[in-house]
Amino acid sequence: QVQLVESGGGLVQPGGSLRLSCTTSGSILRFNYMGWYRQAPGKERELVATLSRDGSTNYADSVKGRFTISRDNVKNTVYLQMNSLKPDDTAVYYCNARSLVGYWGQGTQVTVSS
């Protein structure tokens, strides 16, 4: 059974930074893609960033230049570095891993507010 455990969410002021972590049991390289999605109250879940096994990345237009997805293959962890945070970034952030099937973490709350 694949487990994805997220951490790093919290309350931050506009303009601040947070780093989310997603750790899985076993090698993250067994997945074709790993990524981050988010869901704000009353809205659908949306893609934030993905990282493929070959290292290519994809970002939502709303976060380009502010967020960076990366991984540590030894620690089996994917990160989302979030800078210049805005109130619109407030959401529950979910880690996703995909091969033939997809897996989700439990989510971590990010709140951007003064």
Any idea of the CA torsion for 26, 67, 8, 13, to the nearest 10 degrees?
A: 180
d(CA 44, CA 19): 23
The residue written with tokens 């981050």 in the block is 36
Residue 61: the pLDDT is 98
What is the percent of the chain with per-residue pLDDT over 90, rounded to a whole number? 93
Gap between the terminal Cα atoms of the chain: 40
Residue 25: the pLDDT is 86
Residue 68: the pLDDT is 98
Residues of the chain with pLDDT under 70: none
Cβ–Cβ < 8 Å for 24, 3: yes
Residue 26: the pLDDT is 87
